[in-house]
Structure 1
């Protein structure tokens, strides 16, 4: 039996609502239709400063506001037009982003304005849905990192989405909400032979939420399906999930970062240990690779839903009781 959670469920009149519909767990997951997400963005959902709100990182920095993402969009356009990386595709994408405004949205996943709006729409509908599910059963977070098939190849979210869906199906997952993230990994360690630093590469990885029972049951299979490498010594990780809005927002964050593997001295162990240094600012080349991949992927290209899907339904009118 299907069940659903509706956005704006407290209103009897208004624009169409986005709902989360629970499917038959035996039905394979399908790609979320672009028209569903584009339909919500076309109505202006997510572009303003209305709730939900959340903070970013350990410093609890507030999320970017419309004026800041417009500035970020202009920076992306400027980088796309740089002579060193300029070509017909880059110029087309820069022109597309430059025309995005309140009267005409570009609906590109590479556009900082539209990507932020999409994140906010997803958080607005999924956060209450997940909170409701967490209240009924224990849910957890799950991260999986598959090594890239070709470190020098362009980022292909469609192919990576298929890889991760295959892993999730083989591990036995039938219910979950997942998103694809991407990091640019660099090895800054000074290693002695025979050890060698891994080559710089873009790595697409999965992060999302599922019932904790399903995660624990899948761990033995994940150990066989997802193997550790020098670049990724811990290819999967899981923890408890409290349905915090911040966690849901991270699942669909619109920007990527650099991860630099370094060695630091640990006074407790009295030796050098491996650590990761996060750098939110991408290089010009990395950002151009990212925005091209995002534009090609589309609004739905980084979303993986198992056992649920999105629908847009008209708002039902409120029933009134006859007066006596």
Structure 2
């Protein structure tokens, strides 16, 4: 069944092509693409789950609006979002789910057409952390610009993915809590091998970020693509694990994943709304173009052999 959909292009929220893709309704429902999530291989988020997540976020924002006018602005924006007229907010769980599903389909096709082995690059720049309470929309473009310069020097010509965030805390308060941006992109495998040392020179390990650069093998699982555009974020609680008496485990620093605190959730959502949907995407050597199948990711230039 077809519906008459409408949208108002707002350059602060999304580009014309992203607005067009969301308004088309093609990635609205529970059809393909599909993927499994996490260790227990749960099904990916449904449209109904995203709708419920939006309602819960609206409730949180309205409770916070007494002391935060920006929370009320965002709550009002999310409240009018529905399938015939999407709000296009960078914080909207339903709009983000649509963007995620489009990205999974489009980037999978893009990477397949490259015809080369692909690796996952996880980049956690320690110098891009932001203290809790100071996170704003400028963090996303600043992170993207810094990484693009590092990739250029490292010889990475193709990258598609997105920005993720966590709130990092220490159980014993050994460091000041902060938000940590993470870049999660897929790149040609031969470039990944050559670039790691150069990236580590730009983003060296620190006490709080021991592995800022990770190269992982991609087995074609769509879940790795979906991870780049998440609508739920974690609080990473670092703790010091003691060695066992019998020697079965050594002392080390470990991390537990917890839900964001309410005030962290509110701060992050307001910033993502102000940054817009496109700010979540990261591309190098690729761009979004209009095709017969709607907006899709295509290479800017052919990849060098």
TM-score by length of 2: 0.84
- Give CA deviations for 1:120-148 in whole Å, capped at 9, x if unaligned: 01111111322343xx3221111111123
Q: Which moved more, 1:148-157 or 1:43-52?
A: 148-157
Match of 2:117 in 1: 138
Decide whether aligned partners of structure 1 residues 132 and 313 sit closer, same or farther in structure 2, where only a CA change above 3 A counts: closer
- 2:151 alignment partner, one of 147, 168, 172: 168
Residues 165 and 304, structure 1, Cα contact 8 Å, conserved in 2: no
Alpha-carbon contact 1:141-1:241 (below 8 Å) kept: yes
State how 1:147-186 maps to structure 2 within 5 Å. Answer: 147=126, 148=128, 150-152=130-132, 153-155=134-136, 156-186=139-169
**Secondary structure at 2:145 match in 1:** helix
1:175-231 deviations in Å (ceiling 9; x for gaps): 11121110111111x4xxxxx712111011111111111111112211210111111
Q: Give per-residue Cα distances to partners, 1:73-92, cap 9 Å, x unaligned.
A: 11111111114764322111
Question: Contact 1:36–1:311 (CA<8 Å) still a contact in 2?
Answer: yes
Q: Pick from 77, 80, 85: which aligns with 1:96?
A: 77
TM superposition score normalised by structure 1: 0.79
For residues 61-100 of structure 1, the aligned pairs below 5 Å read: 61-83=42-64, 86-100=67-81
Q: Which residue of 2 aligns with 1:302?
A: 280
Distance 2:22 2:39 in 1: 30
| Aligned positions, number | 275
State the distance in 2 between where 1:103 and 1:82 align. Answer: 27
* 1:15 counterpart residue number: none
Q: Whole-Å Cα distance in 2 between the matches of residues 77 and 294 of structure 1?
A: 15
Task: Say whether residues 1:127 and 2:108 are aligned partners.
Answer: yes
Residues 110-259 of structure 1: pairs in structure 2 closer than 5 A: 110-133=91-114, 136-147=115-126, 148=128, 150-152=130-132, 153-155=134-136, 156-188=139-171, 190=172, 197-259=174-236
Q: Which moved more, 1:283-292 or 1:261-270?
A: 261-270
Aligned to 2:240: 263
Segments of 5+ residues of structure 2 without an aligned counterpart are: 1-13, 295-305
Q: Distance in 2 between matches of 1:252 and 1:84?
A: 27
**Where has structure 1 moved over 3 Å in runs of 4 or more?**
83-86, 265-271
Question: Which structure 1 segments of 5+ residues have no match?
Answer: 1-32, 191-195, 317-324
1:282 aligns with 2:260: yes
Rounded Cα–Cα distance in structure 1 between residues aligned with 2:280 and 2:64 = 30
- Counterparts in 2 of 1:266 and 1:149: CA distance versus 1, 3 Å: closer
2:297 aligned residue: none
The answer as to whether partners of 2:117 and 2:188 remain within 8 angstroms in 1 is yes
Q: Provide the alpha-carbon RMSD of the alignment.
A: 2.0
Distance across 2 between alignment mates of 1:315 and 1:116 = 19
Q: Do the aligned residues in 2 keep the contact of 1:154 with 1:293 (CA within 8 Å)? A: yes
- CA deviation after TM superposition for structure 1 residue 270, in Å: 4.5
Which residue of 2 is the match for residue 52 of structure 1?
A: 33
Q: RCO (CA 8 Å, sep 6+): is it higher in 1 or 2?
A: 1
Greater share of helix: 2
